[in-house]
Amino acid sequence: MPRLLEVKGLTAGYGMIEVLHDMSVHIDEGEIVTIIGANGAGKTTTLHCLSGLVPARQGKILLRGQEIQNLPPHEIVLLGLSQSPEGRRIFPRLSVLENLQMGAFTRSDKPQIAKDIEHCYDLFPILKERQQQLGGTLSGGEQQMLAVARAILSRPKLLLLDEPSLGLAPLIVLKIFEVIRKLNQEGMSVILVEQNARMALKLAHRGYVLETGRITATGSGQSLLDDPKVQEAYLGH
């Protein structure tokens, strides 16, 4: 499979604090790749570097061979990378429909945007029922569905999902993971950062273990599930 994203020797942080140290990962076209690790390992910082929110201090980030590490976030979205952030960050005073339209802010193909919004309603029927409701009045699970739907309205080649199951009821989590699988079957590649390591590794083709800003293990989702060290540290064995 052709390489979609390649990260080479990425170093990044905030102020005096270095969070990521010489990190290298990749994702091929059509893959779901998960990054697991303890709180503070650098998972969210990794995603923020990929989407241009945190500058890289060293290293390269290549999206389909093009360097993106110095580009502003809106240009990275135009190149086909979109993020659904931790904490959802929907627009509470906008309706569900307006939130979805904001996801398509880089696009001008109105008929196709309308079709894509209908596709989001097929994926998450509750959003259709709630389309005129203000985002801030939705339940946590509905807000998470809205955050994922909004992220896919830019038609990304690569979708970054940061803790999509955080704080949600198990049934809602199953629904969101089912949609991630469906989007992948439709051709979208996904990088998933997820505290529910077992579910993430079952869904993912490959995974990386991140510890204090360094990749310490990588392999297929199944091989990491079977790894005694991973089981002990992240799977509650």
Measured CA distances, 110 to 114, 116, 153 (Å): 6, 10, 12
Walk along the chain (237 residues) in steps of 10 and give the mean pLDDT of each run.
92 94 96 94 95 95 95 93 84 93 88 94 94 92 92 93 89 91 95 93 96 95 95 82
pLDDT of residue 147: 92
Contact 116, 104 (CB under 8 A): yes
What gap in Å lies between CA 27 and CA 178, rounded to an integer? 20
Q: What is the pLDDT of residue 34?
A: 97
pLDDT in the model for residue 55: 93
For the domain that residue 97 is a member of, what is the CATH number?
3.40.50.300
Model pLDDT, residue 108: 86
Q: How many domains does the chain have?
A: 1
pLDDT of residue 237: 57
Least Cα distance to 210 among 61, 19, 49, 4 occurs for: 19
Q: Is the distance from CB of 41 to CB of 70 less than 8 angstroms?
A: no
Give the global pTM: 0.92
Quote the distance between the C-alpha of residue 206 and its chain's center: 15
Length in residues, the chain: 237
C-beta separation of 176 from 126 below 8 A: no
Q: What DSSP line would sit under the chain, residue for residue?
A: --EEEEEEEEEEEETTEEEEEEEEEEEETT-EEEEE--TTSSHHHHHHHHTTSS--SEEEEEETTEE-TTS-HHHHHHTTEEEE-TT----TTSBHHHHHHHHTTT---HHHHHHHHHHHHHH-HHHHHTTTSBGGGS-HHHHHHHHHHHHHTT--SEEEEESTTTT--HHHHHHHHHHHHHHHHTT-EEEEE-S-HHHHHHH-SEEEEEETTEEEEEEEHHHHHT-HHHHHHHS--
Task: Provide the pLDDT for residue 195.
Answer: 86
> 61: domain range?
3-234
